Amino acid sequence: MELFPDGAHVRLRSRVHGFYLYAEEDEVEATWSPDWGSLNAAWAVHRVVRPGGTFFLLRSAAYGRYLRVTSRSGDPSDDFTVAQRSYTTLRKRGFMWEASDSEDGTGDVVLRNRKYGQLMGSWVVEDIPPREDPPELPEVAPTPWPPVHLRRIWYMRAADQAELNALVWSRLWFIGRSVSDLRDELAAALGEADSQNITLCVQAGYRARLTPLVIDLPDNERTMEIVVLTTGSEAAQALVYPDVDAE
């Protein structure tokens, strides 16, 4: 069976300490966590073909940012770390991964980064099956006063993923973190009488694939780019939602 098939969702569990690769809510750090049942521990596989072979990228199922290797000091010869980044260019090799069997009889995989070489070994890859239906959005929590977060939202209504136009983004200032409130406000801005007629996706960079936004916004004031699909449209039906409760 192919390791990391395109479009699949996986968890990566370290054989060393048993924790999972985890996309922190700050949308920057990638750390380790025992919380396997969180979208932050789920990664979508994005395969690409480049000179030299086929590689895969890992996109967080929480907020859509991609796993990238970077040196701590900016010097490629120095110590490195993994972090979440927007995917805006095809040329950044730090996003690109290859996987191979560890050949020690455990079935573990070794991850090799195209830029930095072999970095992370002894990983247990856990496949996450897709949900049959999209999850319900979380209930709206009371917004504290004064509001904690004021965030700029760039949004676009799209017929499908192939018709995204960088020139037609609109802006909305949003208070709070509730994804349900955000959907209501975007529906009003777009003239939709029923907010359930729209499906929200995050696009973390020009080259990024769309990630369904089904959890409350991150605990920061970082600008977000939201692509709005029509619920039930071909594009919305093509979205894959990982069943993170499945063991």
Quick: pLDDT tens for 40-78: 999 999 998 887 778 889 999 999 999 988 765 454 444
Give residue 181's pLDDT: 95
What CATH code is assigned to 9-128? Answer: 2.80.10.50
Residues of the chain with CATH 2.80.10.50: 9-128
pTM above 0.85, yes or no: yes
- pLDDT bracket for residue 107 (50, 70, 90): low
- On whether the 150-237 domain is CATH 3.10.20.90, my answer is yes
Taking the CB of residue 162, how many other CB atoms lie within 10 A of it? 7
Q: What is the pLDDT of residues 132-160, one digit of tens each?
A: 999 999 988 776 666 677 899 999 998 76
- Token representation of residue 4: 């990391």
Residues of the chain with CATH 3.10.20.90: 150-237
Q: Name the H helices within the chain.
A: 179-189, 234-237
How does strand 170-175 pair with strand 9-14? unpaired
